[in-house]
Amino acid sequence: MTVRTPNELGLELTGFVPYRLNRLAVGVSNHLSDIYRERFGLDIPEWRVMATVGSRHGCTAQYIAQSTRMHKTRVSRAVAGLEERELIERASSAADRREREVRLTKAGRRMYAELVPLVLERERELLSCLTKEQLRGFVAGMEAIETFLGLQD
């Protein structure tokens, strides 16, 4: 348990929460991306699009951008890449012809069905290094900071 005393002179980066949080996020991200990168050839934006589209019947790029908090150009490119690989398909919406309804193809659904359990298992495995108590505290902490920063869903 090493939190700096609040106003120690001469900041030590290794005890600085924002820095550690960043390092941790990168570490966790790499730990996970082994699965979707090496095994399925997806990068992070693509993986997020797959995850978002797969848990719905179809949605717009706009929705994906809001829900993943990715920039719309990043979404646009990820979607284009996935369409290229025929994992998703797009159909112009009849109601609003600016929109394009995004959904998984059969191959996309197959990949999704294979991918998601593996990723969830990795998450479970990762979090299993925390006690129940620690996990609750950790998530509660994340939530409080999310709220403070206005990041809630």
Partner DNA sequence: CACAATTAGTTGCGCTCGCAACCACTCCGA
Partner DNA sequence: TCGGAGTGGTTGCGAGCGCAACTAATTGTG
Q: Minimum distance from CB of 95 to a second copy (Å)?
A: 25
Which ranges of 34-152 does DSSP label H, i.e. alpha helix? 44-54, 61-68, 72-84, 106-127, 132-149
The C-alpha atoms of residue 54 and residue 57 are separated, in whole angstroms, by 7
Q: Minimum distance from CB of 100 to a second copy (Å)?
A: 20
Q: Record the tokens describing residue 58, joined without a space.
A: 């179809």
Indicate whether 82 belongs to the interface with DNA (CB under 7 A): no
Q: List the one residue from 41, 69, 81, 94 that touches a second copy (CB under 8 A).
A: 69
Beta-carbon contacts of residue 143 (< 8 Å; ≥ 6 apart): none
Residues in 94-123 that interact with DNA by CB under 7 A:
96-100, 102
C-alpha pair distances (Å), 24 with each of 15, 19, 92, 100: 13, 9, 40, 36
Indicate whether 146 belongs to the interface with a second copy (CB under 8 A): yes
Indicate whether 86 belongs to the interface with DNA (CB under 7 A): no
Indicate whether 62 belongs to the interface with DNA (CB under 7 A): yes
Is the CB of residue 3 less than 8 Å from the CB of residue 15?
yes
Indicate whether 75 belongs to the interface with a second copy (CB under 8 A): no
Q: Which residues of the shown chain bind a second copy in the complex (CB under 8 A)?
A: 1-3, 6-14, 16-29, 31-32, 48, 51-52, 54-55, 67-69, 116-117, 119-120, 123-124, 126-127, 129-130, 133-149, 151, 153
